Amino acid sequence: MKKIILIFIGIILSFDARAAMRIGLEDTVAKILAASQDIRKAELNVQKSEAVYRAARSGRLPQVNATASIMNNINLDGPGKARYVSIPNLPVIDNTGNEIGFVPTGIGGFRVPDNIGIAGVELVQPIYTFGRIGHGLDAARSAIRIAESSAELARREMRVAAVQIYYGAKMAENIQKIMTASLESTRRNQRALTAGGGRANKANLLRISTDIAIKESQVSEARFNYESAMRMLKIMADIDDDVVVILSDEIPSAFIRAGDARIESYPEWDIYQEAHNASRSAMKSKRADWLPTLAATASYNYFMLHTDMDVWNGTREQNASVGLAIQIPIFDGGRARFQATQDAREADRAMQDLDKAKKLRGNELTDAIERHNFGIENMKIQTRALDLARQTYSMSANRFASGQTSAVELSDVESSLVQLEIALLNTRVQTAIAAENIRKLVGEK
């Protein structure tokens, strides 16, 4: 029986080992980035912009079209008869310009075939469009760079969010440990107080019982917060809910002070700059719509003619031609001009957005550096205060055990200790997130 129980316990432990996943900060970040739908959509936008560019580039290539048709010419005077065309005799003109007679043609007329079949191929090669195609391609290239910058911005922002999720879950785990340890400490004090028999003070017992009830509630809340944070981490990292996740990396406790830094380039700035470039190029392309378009043309046509629908057995003719074609716009109701004006205003607005974004991101960097450096200094103060609080609690616990102090004093000292532990933990998390924000803005890995 004992052997069966040991085997059963071994199976349970092996199942838990298989289901457990140890994961650190960078692994969590990588999983969240890989599972991010926002990043995936941004990458799809890059592919879409590349397809738009290739479509625009096709405007420079030859356009080849084939056509085929069968037509029936209806003689309105006699729908059942073929159309008849008379050929008049040609007049004879003398040197003075007077008509002196006619030259007989010998042909009274001819019948136009009722049915005509035509098949042909036409090729058009643009030669010069005064920048309409070229500026359109410039706008499409800018759209690609906008999509690429948007994807990079999404990756940077999602990385910061992933770091916040990881450290948030780790902080919730540590707070749960702190609150659980505080509860167990209070329970030990209660046992020590009641172990003395008649020495126990009723007021002390009541205060400790109250503290235990409060801390049990706090532990329950801390457990809920931890489980909620872990569920969010699993969802964002695309980890199955039944997998036991162990966060292996601790929250950093040592940081290097951040010096002055500048944002040389930032994806958001690139987006607005390229939006300006794209609008300017689109404006120039629209203005080119007012100008002529020169193209080379070539065509080949094959004709089949017959008095009935059997054109395949009728008369056959063919012709081919090459030449130049020029298209000159005359009047479009102001469409091109209004569209160019719209693009010009869009370009101006992009520059306004760029100027505002530079100010905002510059202020964000300053705030992140100050928050990071403040966190380092505040951690030193909190660490010293925490050391003193631990010493004070140790002394109070010894005095309480010997009956020299009350449960009220011990509770107050322990409450201060717990608050300092959580405050120091929060400062470490905020400092680490500030460091990540600096890396996001400056572009460092």
CATH number for the segment(s) 20-61+129-291+329-442: 1.20.1600.10
Q: Is the pLDDT at 435 greater than 70, yes or no?
A: yes
Which is higher by pLDDT, 313 or 24? 24
Identify the pLDDT of residue 237.
96
pLDDT tens readout for residues 167-192:
999 999 999 999 999 999 989 888 87
Best CA proximity match to 269, nearest among 348, 358, 154: 358
CA distances from 199 to 194, 195, 397, 400 (A): 8, 9, 16, 12
Task: Report yes or no: 148 and 53 within 8 Å, Cβ to Cβ.
Answer: no
* Coil vs helix vs strand at 14: helix
Considering the chain, what is the average pLDDT of its residues? Answer: 87
Identify the pLDDT of residue 19.
62
Worst-scoring range by mean pLDDT, 172-186, 194-208, 334-348?
Answer: 194-208
Identify the pLDDT of residue 92.
67
Identify the pLDDT of residue 93.
72
- 347 pLDDT band, cuts 50/70/90, is very high
pLDDT tens readout for residues 88-132:
566 767 777 677 766 565 554 455 667 788 999 999 999 999 999
What integer is the mean pLDDT of 231-238?
A: 96
Task: For residue 262, report the phi and psi dihedrals to the nearest 5 degrees.
Answer: -130, 150
Report the share of the chain in percent with pLDDT over 90.
Answer: 65
Identify the pLDDT of residue 80.
59
Q: Is the pLDDT at 260 greater than 70, yes or no?
A: yes
Task: For residue 305, report the phi and psi dihedrals to the nearest 5 degrees.
Answer: -125, 135
Identify the pLDDT of residue 89.
60
Q: Is the pLDDT at 1 greater than 80, yes or no?
A: no
What integer is the mean pLDDT of 74-93?
A: 60
Report the share of the chain in percent with pLDDT over 70.
Answer: 85
pLDDT tens readout for residues 132-164:
999 999 999 999 999 999 999 999 999 999 999
Identify the pLDDT of residue 216.
95
Best CA proximity match to 355, nearest among 268, 444, 442: 268
Identify the pLDDT of residue 15.
45
**pTM of full prediction above 0.85:** no
CA–CA separation, 416 and 340 (whole Å): 67
